[in-house]
């Protein structure tokens, strides 16, 4: 749930995708601003097999979701040492139709003594955080008739009160006979968003005929009311997260069949920004629980568009939005735009895609090849502070230390920075004073 961050905190867990406030921003302070000559201390690494997502952190434990052979594995590590505490396996059968990797795209989510995972083939599961015991599970693709999306299931579970909410996007039985990839001919069956009770996995509600995208819903407080916002395949869906009732829908997607909505809705007060990279770019809405007003939208010319977010969600800070704009290299850049009207304040034409984390007046910027830098959160200009190339050898680990693609945004919890590439996740000490 999106809440005010209040004052700075010395340390914080990272329980879910995009962190404590669901916006890619950390509340921690005192970060190391010189990474040269080994000053950014490597604490431990975990070799990975097949996946894209990064983990979650709670009460001194790090949880990573990966695929090993024909199972999806949730592994629990000691966050300080990287020592394995337990792991839990579930069978998976998924083959990516475009040749990308066949592992989970999402991050685990923690609520109380439970850990939730949502696999690439639509398996939603709840585990005991202490020992990894499976408490309940659903094969949602089978239960709701989901036609395989181009790149599999990517939504992360969302915790709201006593429920866990996910994007599903199922279809009626007749659609199961359609050719693979014919999503323009697929219709919904009132399962765009589905909620289950945390305690036993029983269905709480389902809403919307929309199909699933690769985004994750957010819950925001709008005019004193909790509102669910989900950037679905066809646009932004607003729903009541208590009752599962649709409130309104704003159409926003590329006319191309093979295109995706993947970045999360970005909420600032009663305004919501959504962005995609294929054709239509970004739109800023002023919203209520009952309706919306379009404040600005990008022109159809991609070169003139303010922000074209692909899979990495931009981060709003102050009156500005920072993030990667562009679909692929070489048309991608890191930029800052003004929130109110989309005017571009500065760009770094690095021609490669990046993911961001905000912390302590800075952004940690990781590009997909493994180069990581720290920059100031300035709207005036691109201001680099320090950097480290994680595609090279590090310590006694030969190059590449992190293998491309490095697509997951970095995570910070209790002073430790977690970064992943295709081959491993690495834990660094970002805040020296937090070392124990």
The per-residue DSSP string of 180-226 comes to: TT-GGG----S-SEEEEETTT--EEEEE-SPPP-S---EEEEETTEE
pLDDT tens figures, 186-208: 999 999 999 999 999 999 999 99
What does the alpha-carbon distance between residue 408 and residue 162 come to, in Å, rounded to a whole number?
28
pLDDT tens figures, 223-256: 999 999 999 999 999 999 999 999 999 999 999 9
pTM, rounded to two decimals: 0.96
CA distances from residue 25 to 14, 185, 390, 398 in whole angstroms, order as listed: 10, 39, 22, 32
Helix (H) or strand (E) holding 143: helix 140-144
Which residues in the chain land under pLDDT 70?
A: 1-10, 434-436
In a domain, 15, yes or no: no
pLDDT tens figures, 113-126: 999 999 999 999 99
What does the alpha-carbon distance between residue 169 and residue 223 come to, in Å, rounded to a whole number?
28
**C-alpha radius of gyration, the chain, whole number:** 20
Domain count, the chain: 1
In a domain, 17, yes or no: no
Give the per-residue pLDDT at 435: 57
What does the alpha-carbon distance between residue 161 and residue 189 come to, in Å, rounded to a whole number?
25
Is 254 exposed, middle or buried, given 0-12, 13-18 or 19+ CB atoms closer than 10 A?
A: middle
In a domain, 9, yes or no: no
The answer to whether the CB of 426 falls within 8 A of the CB of 416 is: no
Residue 87 half-sphere exposure toward CB, CA atoms < 13 A:
15
> Is the alpha carbon torsion for 207, 208, 211, 214 positive or negative?
negative
In a domain, 228, yes or no: yes
φ, ψ at 55 (rounded to 5°): -90, -170
Mark residue 164 as left, alpha or beta (left: phi above 0; alpha: psi -120 to 50; beta: remaining): beta
What does the alpha-carbon distance between residue 32 and residue 22 come to, in Å, rounded to a whole number?
24
Give the per-residue pLDDT at 124: 98
What range does the domain containing 69 cover?
Answer: 36-434
The answer to whether the CB of 272 falls within 8 A of the CB of 245 is: no
In a domain, 27, yes or no: no
What does the alpha-carbon distance between residue 317 and residue 234 come to, in Å, rounded to a whole number?
27
In a domain, 342, yes or no: yes
In a domain, 47, yes or no: yes
What does the alpha-carbon distance between residue 132 and residue 123 come to, in Å, rounded to a whole number?
16
Residue labelled with tokens 């430790």: 416
Give the per-residue pLDDT at 231: 98
What is the CATH classification number for the domain harbouring 323?
Answer: 2.130.10.10
In a domain, 96, yes or no: yes
> Using alpha carbons only, what angle is made at residue 47 by residues 41 and 48, rounded to the nearest 5 degrees?
125
């Amino acid at each position: 749930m999106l809440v005010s961050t209040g004052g700075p905190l010395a340390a914080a867990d990272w329980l879910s995708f995009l962190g404590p406030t669901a916006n890619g921003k950390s509340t921690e302070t005192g970060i190391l601003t010189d990474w040269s000559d080994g000053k950014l201390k490597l604490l431990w690494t975990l070799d990975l097999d097949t996946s894209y997502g990064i983990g979650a952190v709670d009460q001194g434990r790090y949880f990573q979701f990966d695929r090993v052979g024909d199972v999806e594995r949730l592994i629990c590590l000691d966050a300080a040492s990287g020592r394995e505490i337990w792991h839990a396996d579930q069978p998976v059968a998924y083959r990516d139709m475009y040749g990308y990797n066949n592992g989970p795209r999402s991050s685990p989510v923690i609520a109380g003594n439970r850990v939730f995972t949502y696999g690439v083939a639509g398996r939603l599961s709840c585990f005991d955080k202490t020992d990894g015991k499976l408490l309940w599970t659903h094969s949602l693709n089978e239960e709701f008739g989901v036609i395989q999306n181009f790149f599999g299931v990517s939504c992360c579970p969302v915790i709201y009160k006593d429920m866990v909410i996910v994007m599903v996007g199922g279809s009626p039985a007749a659609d199961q006979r359609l050719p693979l990839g014919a999503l323009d001919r697929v219709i919904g069956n009132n399962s765009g968003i589905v909620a289950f009770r945390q305690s036993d996995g029983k269905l709480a509600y389902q809403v919307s005929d929309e199909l699933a995208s690769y985004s994750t819903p957010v819950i925001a407080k709008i005019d004193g009311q909790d509102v669910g916002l989900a950037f679905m395949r066809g646009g932004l869906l607003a729903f009541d997260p208590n009752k599962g009732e649709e409130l309104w829908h704003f159409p926003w997607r590329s006319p191309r069949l093979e295109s995706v909505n993947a970045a999360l809705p970005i909420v600032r007060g009663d305004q919501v920004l959504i962005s995609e990279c294929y054709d239509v770019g970004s739109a800023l809405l002023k919203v209520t629980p009952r309706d919306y007003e379009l404040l600005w939208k990008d022109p159809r010319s991609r070169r003139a568009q303010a922000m074209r977010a692909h899979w990495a969600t931009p981060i709003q800070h102050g009156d500005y939005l920072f993030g990667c704009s562009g679909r692929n290299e070489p048309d991608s850049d890191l930029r800052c735009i003004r929130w109110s009207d989309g005017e571009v304040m500065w760009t770094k034409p690095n021609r490669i895609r990046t993911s961001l984390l905000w912390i302590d007046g800075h952004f940690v910027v990781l590009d997909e090849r493994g180069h990581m830098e720290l920059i100031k959160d300035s709207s005036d200009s691109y201001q680099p502070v320090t950097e480290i190339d994680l595609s090279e050898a590090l310590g006694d680990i030969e190059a590449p230390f992190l293998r491309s693609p490095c697509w997951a945004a970095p995570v910070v919890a209790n002073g430790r920075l977690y970064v992943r590439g295709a081959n491993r996740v690495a834990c660094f000490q970002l805040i020296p004073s937090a070392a124990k």
